[in-house]
A and B are shown apart, each in its own frame.
Chain A
C-alpha cells in the first residue's frame, strides 16, 4: 500500500556556517572567545569560539616551524568548523573544530575564522604521548562573584600566569566548575576567557552550578566524547535553556570522566546520581584498561570542609557515589564548589579505608577500593568560604558530618582542610607508580585578591614571608594498591601496544564442501565448515574488531552461478576476546536472498571487550538449483578481519 515516497534533504543553515547569509564586506566577521580545549586523547585538541556573523568558518593548523613571518604555509591543514546560533542573550554564533592527528613533541600554531577575518594566531605544544606528565586543577574561578568582574579577572589571570610560569610543561588545565558567576552573562565569560594561557594550554571544562542555568557554557566549551542525553541534564531536557552532559577523555595513562553534578536527583527531571554512576560504569568498563589511572571530575565537592559540607544535596551524593567509585577502582576525585581546599583520607565505600591514617599523611596507599577526594580552593580570589565545624551529633562515616576522631576540629573524612583567603591551585603529577597531589599558593593577601580587596572577607591569614606565592599548602603521594605480595616493577621503554591478529589452521585448508549431493532433483546441496579462525586481541585500547566475508560468483570457464547460493552459520567455538557470532545467512536457494554474495559478518567484539583469544567457525551450506550446469566451479571467498 505504498503511497508517495518522499525524500527530504537536510538543510544545514544552522549547523554549518556559511550556508546562510554572509556578512557584508563592510562588516567583517569578528572572532572572540577563542579557547583551546582538551580532545579525546593526547593527539587532539578542540578549539571553540564565538563569531559575530553566521559565516563559513574554519580552523587552520600548522607546525609553528612551518610558519614564515607568521604566515601559514599554503598546505596548512584547514578544517571546517561546526556550530550554531547562540541563544539571544549571548548574541552571535558559536563554532568549534577538532584538531586531530597531532604529533608529539611539536609546537603548533592555529587560527580560526575565514580568509579575511582570521583570529590572531595562537600556539600550543604537544609533548611525549607516553609516560609521566603533570596537570593543573583549578577550583571555581567564578568570575563576577566578588561583585567586581575586573578584579576577579585579574586574580584569575594571575593564577594562570603564576601556575604556568612554575609549571610551563603542565599538559592540561582541569576545571573544577563555575567558570562564571551568572550562567549567560557574556561579560563574565569574556573576563574568564581573557587570559591568553587558555589558548595555549587545553582547558578541560567542568560544569558548575553557576554555569548550568544557561546555554553559554555549552556554547563556549565544546568537550570530547560528550553524552548529551536527557538523564545527564538536571531537568532531563537537553533542548532546554540549560547546559549539561557528561564526557570522558584519555590523556596519557589517565582516564578522565567529567560529570554534570548539577543533576543529582531524578526529582528534578534528570537521571540524577544514578545516571552518572551508570555513565561512569560504562566508561570505565569500556576504557579504563587503556589507562593506568582513573580521575573523576565534577563540581560539587562531597567531602568539602566549608559552607557546603552540610548541604542536603551533598549528603545525597555522599550516599550515592563513594561505594560505586570504590568498586569501580577510581583513584582520584577532583571537585570544586566549596571555595576552600580539602584532601580526604583514603575513602573506601563511604568510610575511612584505614581508620589509623594520620591527618596530613604525606604518603597514602590507595587500594583496594580506596579513593582520594580533593576539593580546590578559589583559583581567582573571587570568593572564599570558611571552614565550618563538624556536627558532634552526626556519625563519623557515610553521609554524616561528624568529627574526625583523630582531629575533632575537622570533618571525619578530611585529612587536610585549609582556608587562608588566598588563591591556590592543585598540581597533580601523574607517574607510572604514583600520583602526587599538591595544593600550591598562587597569590597572597595582596591584590589581586578580589574578595579580600573588596572586604567580602574580613581577614586573610597568609604570612607572605613563610607562605609566598608558589609555596605548598599540602602535598600527598598516592601509591596504588599492588596486591598483597611484593610488587615487582619493570620499566619497558616504548612498550609495544597490543596487537590484533589471528591464527588459521593452514594444514587442513579453509573450506571443504566435498561433492554436492542431488536432493531428489530439486537442488544440489553441500555442507562443510570453514576452518576455525583463532582471533587474538591484546590491544590496550580494547577497541572493536570484526570479521566479515563474502564470496564471488562460482565459475567454471564460461559457466557461472551466484555466490548467493552459499550460506553460513557463524559460531563462537571458544569464547574470549569479547567475540560474538554474527547471524546465520541462508543460501539464496532458501530465501531468495543474497547469501554470502554480499559481505556478511562472521563475528565481532564491541568496545571494552576483554583481551584474549577466541575461536570462531562457521558451518557452510551450499544449495544450488538443479538447473545449474555440471562442472567444477571455483569461487573466491574473502575473509577480512579488521581492527577498528
Chain B
C-alpha cells in the first residue's frame, strides 16, 4: 500500500534572512550591476580580458541598491556554460568551477548596501601560470539568498555580468562531429520519397570559442540521388569542451535501400574584434537503411500473384490436358469397343 504523501512548499520567504522580518514590509528588493567606469572604458556591457598565464588584471563591478531596504549581497565568480537553448548560464554555487570562477576574486565575499547607495566591488583576475591557453567564459555575480526555510524551495537570486577571458598561448580551434547517425522514415505510398533525420553532436574539442556553419545532405548508394537539407541554423558559440546536439530533417529522400548522410561543418573562429574566420571544413559521413517497406510488400504481393497466376495457368492446363487425354482415351476406347462389337 502506498503511503500518503504531503509535500509542502512554503511561501514565506523573507527578503533577507539576516535583515529580519521588518524589511519584508518594504516589499521589493531591487539592485543593479554595471561595469566600473575606469581606464578600460565607461561603456562596457561585460568584462573582457586578454591575459598571459601568470598575469593578472584588476577591475571592478559597480552595484547599486535601487530598493527601499538595505541589502546584504554575496559576491562571487562562477564558470559559464551554454544551455540547451543556447543561452549562457553560470554554474550554481555548489558546482566546482575550474576557470573564471577560480581565477576571479572579488576583494570581499559579501557586502551590505543601503538604499540608494552605490558600491564599487574591486576584483582581481589572476590567471595561474599553468593555465591552459585559450578562451574561458564565466561571470561575476551578486547574490541574494533567502534564509534557509524549514520546508521550501530555497531561492538563490543572482545578478551578474559576463566575463570573457583569453589566456595567451597557442590557440587550437578544433571541432569534432560525434554520435552521428541517420534515420529514415518511409511513407505509406510505396512510390513516394521519405524523410530522413540526420543527427549528430558538434563537439568543441579545441581551446577557443567556436561556432560553425553547417551543411547536411543525404544521398543513395554511390552518392546518387543527393538531397540537401535546407539552411541549417548555426550552433551557438560553443565554449571549449562543450557539445551541441543537432537534428536535421531532410525531406524528399529517395528510398534507395541504403542512404548516406554527409555533414560538413565550417568552424567559425570569432576574433575578439567580432569578425569570424572560417577554418577548414570538417566532414563526416554515416549510413542508414532507407528501405521502402510498403513498396517491398507490394512487390512481394505482385510476385506472389504472378507466381500464383503462372501456377494456376499451368495447373489448369495440366488438368485440361489430363481431361483431354482422358476424353481422347475414352474416345479411342469407345471406338475400339465399337469396332470389337462390330467384328464380334
Q: Which residue numbers of A lie inside 8 Å of B, CB to CB? A: 1-16, 18, 39-44, 46, 56, 58, 75-80, 82, 84, 96, 98-101, 103-106, 129-130, 222-226, 228, 247, 249, 290, 494-516, 518, 521, 524, 526, 528, 534, 536, 539-541, 543, 546, 548, 550-552, 556, 582-583, 598-601, 604, 622, 624, 626-644
Partner of A637, one of B7, B141, B153, B175: B153
Contact B50 A501 (CB under 8 A): no
Question: What is the minimal beta-carbon distance from A535 to any residue of chain B, in angstroms?
Answer: 10
Kindly list chain B residues whose C-beta atoms are within 8 Å of the C-beta of A15: 173, 269, 277, 279-280
Kindly list chain B residues whose C-beta atoms are within 8 Å of the C-beta of A583: 85
Contact A499 B280 (CB under 8 A): no
Contact A82 B277 (CB under 8 A): yes
Contact A225 B157 (CB under 8 A): no
Question: What is the minimal beta-carbon distance from A200 to any residue of chain B, in angstroms?
Answer: 19
B52 CB-CB contact with A under 8 Å: yes
Kindly list chain B residues whose C-beta atoms are within 8 Å of the C-beta of A222: 271, 275
Contact B46 A2 (CB under 8 A): no
Contact A3 B181 (CB under 8 A): yes
List of 6 A-B pairs having minimum Cβ-Cβ separation, nearest first: A501-B32, A509-B13, A2-B181, A543-B45, A513-B9, A632-B151
Partner of B151, one of A548, A634, A636: A634
Contacts A40-B273, A514-B9: A502 and B159 contacting too (C-beta < 8 A)? Answer: yes
Q: A632–B7 Cα gap in the complex (Å)?
A: 5
Q: A563–B7 Cα gap in the complex (Å)?
A: 14
Contact A43 B45 (CB under 8 A): no
Partner of B30, one of A10, A228, A502, A633: A502
Partner of B88, one of A80, A129, A290, A546: A546
Q: A226–B93 Cα gap in the complex (Å)?
A: 38
Kindly list chain B residues whose C-beta atoms are within 8 Å of the C-beta of A524: 5, 7
B326 CB-CB contact with A under 8 Å: no
Kindly list chain B residues whose C-beta atoms are within 8 Å of the C-beta of A5: 178-181, 200, 286
Question: What is the minimal beta-carbon distance from B184 to any residue of chain A, in angstroms?
Answer: 6
Contact B34 A500 (CB under 8 A): yes
Please, what's the 1-or-0 string for B107-136, where 1 marks a CB less than 8 Å from any CB in chain A? 000000000000000000000000001000
Question: What is the minimal beta-carbon distance from B129 to any residue of chain A, in angstroms?
Answer: 10
Question: What is the minimal beta-carbon distance from A497 to any residue of chain B, in angstroms?
Answer: 5
Contact A43 B279 (CB under 8 A): no
Question: What is the minimal beta-carbon distance from B284 to any residue of chain A, in angstroms?
Answer: 4
B241 CB-CB contact with A under 8 Å: no
Binds A, one of B36-44, B307-315, B333-341: B36-44
Residue in A14, A500, A516 with the greatest tally of chain B CB atoms within 10 Å:
A500
B221 CB-CB contact with A under 8 Å: no
B226 CB-CB contact with A under 8 Å: no
Question: What is the minimal beta-carbon distance from A16 to any residue of chain B, in angstroms?
Answer: 6
17 pairs, A vs B, C-beta closer than 8 Å: A2-B181, A2-B288, A10-B279, A39-B273, A42-B41, A80-B168, A80-B170, A100-B50, A129-B42, A226-B274, A506-B28, A506-B29, A518-B5, A546-B88, A548-B89, A601-B83, A640-B141
Contact A80 B169 (CB under 8 A): yes
CB nearest to B93 among chain A residues: A638
Contact B158 A639 (CB under 8 A): yes
Kindly list chain A residues whose C-beta atoms are within 8 Å of the C-beta of B275: 222-226, 228, 247
Contact A44 B183 (CB under 8 A): no
CB nearest to B69 among chain A residues: A506
B66 CB-CB contact with A under 8 Å: yes
CB nearest to B210 among chain A residues: A10
Partner of A510, one of B52, B155, B175, B272: B155
Contact B176 A515 (CB under 8 A): no
CB nearest to B267 among chain A residues: A10
Kindly list chain A residues whose C-beta atoms are within 8 Å of the C-beta of B40: 43, 101, 103-104, 129
CB nearest to A4 among chain B residues: B286
Within 8 A of A (CB), among B263-319: 267, 269, 271-277, 279-280, 282-289
Kindly list chain B residues whose C-beta atoms are within 8 Å of the C-beta of A104: 39-41
CB nearest to A239 among chain B residues: B278
B232 CB-CB contact with A under 8 Å: no
Question: What is the minimal beta-carbon distance from A204 to any residue of chain B, in angstroms?
Answer: 12
Partner of B46, one of A6, A76, A636, A644: A644
B220 CB-CB contact with A under 8 Å: no
Q: A15–B84 Cα gap in the complex (Å)?
A: 29
B194 CB-CB contact with A under 8 Å: no
Contact A44 B89 (CB under 8 A): no
B223 CB-CB contact with A under 8 Å: no
Contact A541 B43 (CB under 8 A): yes
Contact A506 B46 (CB under 8 A): no
Contact A511 B286 (CB under 8 A): no
Contacts A499-B64, A629-B5: A77 and B153 contacting too (C-beta < 8 A)? Answer: no
Kindly list chain A residues whose C-beta atoms are within 8 Å of the C-beta of B180: 4-7
Contact B269 A82 (CB under 8 A): yes
Question: What is the minimal beta-carbon distance from A145 to any residue of chain B, in angstroms?
Answer: 29
Question: What is the minimal beta-carbon distance from B256 to any residue of chain A, in angstroms?
Answer: 13
Contacts A10-B267, A598-B84: A506 and B5 contacting too (C-beta < 8 A)? Answer: no
Contact A637 B288 (CB under 8 A): no
